[in-house]
Structure 1
Amino acid sequence: MIGDTSDYIKLVPMVKNQKELDIPPSQLILGAKKEGDDGGDDLDDDTQICSCHNVSKGDVVKVAKEGTCKSAAAGCMPLVTSIFNKAMKDMGAEVKNYLCAHFNYSRADLYNIIMVKRLTTLAEVMREAGNDKESDGCEACKPAIGSIFASLWNKHVMSKPLHGLQETNDRYLGNIQRNGTYSVVPRVSAGEILPEHLIVLAHRPVRR
């Protein structure tokens, strides 16, 4: 899919389950959706939302209703947060847009704090705005803060010390799978590669 991929999570289970459409096909082609439809209302409970941990829509709604989870933080994908927030709103609970448990601020709030106070390290941000001044952050807030630093101070997100703020996949330039294996997408200048070139890449030692 190219461009707006927000309908991807809805299309995949339809294809897998050969589900009969209850809307005109043109709506899927054009990406039309109902006003305010951001909580995955039209998804079945067994629809897989997060492939990293095999989480379904029903799993997200269940933990929200049981009260075992109070925040979705950033989620590993936006739909997780949307479904969680919708379930919380349906129960009349307050929904906060904090970046994660380490901050009582949204990403936009942190951006302004970092800009005004001219903070340049994670430790400074934690001292000035964090709930735990000594915390090292988490996989939700560290990449976000690294991105803010790069936007404000024009430093590459993979340069030191920003490199350590990136999530695992970005740090190792690969895709870490649930079973411990990983895949790597090599950068190929000019975009053309032959099978014998791929064999050379496959036999090169991996630098850690």
Structure 2
Amino acid sequence: MKLQELLKNTKPLAIVGDVDVDITGVNIDSRKVKSGHLFVAMKGTQVDGHQFITKAIELGAKAVLCQDMPEAKAEGVTYVQVADTEDAAGKVATLFHGDPSRHLTLVGVTGTNGKTTIATLLYNMFRKMGHKCGLLSTVCNYIEDEAIPADHTTPDPIELNALLGRMVQAGCEYAFMECSSHAIAQKRISGLKFAGGIFTNLTRDHLDYHKTF
């Protein structure tokens, strides 16, 4: 996919390089970057992804999405500066994986307690009714009968969209996912289209996020 297409839902502050370049993958982890990838440099609470831009380019990144434009720029690499890479990462990943949430009925479950129980009950109930479904939860992710180990309550935006894309390819109609308040604050679900949301044990902290759904 062309970089220009991946950027259509973002608002670049500056672009240095060719936006007509072909992108073969999107990553926020420089260690996973391969030739032709777009590396998204995100500022984490402990590690700043901007420190790994050079490493990502050495591994083959053809474009970099960043908040801080590097002073030194590698030849043949396109640099795109945005105000918030956390927000942009999800929007870019969504488009790269074919905008999967628009081909599913996606339901998010948030709250203090009960997210796993509610999401899993919905997944099992809709499957019993004959629908093909996917589940994203703390315990395990599922694409129909296929179990995929879960590392987080809500995956990072790259993994999240990749999983949703696989659900679409498998013919899933519905997807039920846990949305932790932490993940919502980190904008991991940015770019997704939700059919609806469910709150469990709603607390004041979650009122700030209700418009997401």
Normalising by structure 1, report the TM-score: 0.28
Q: Which has the higher helix share?
A: 1
Q: Which has the higher strand share?
A: 2
Normalising by structure 2, report the TM-score: 0.27
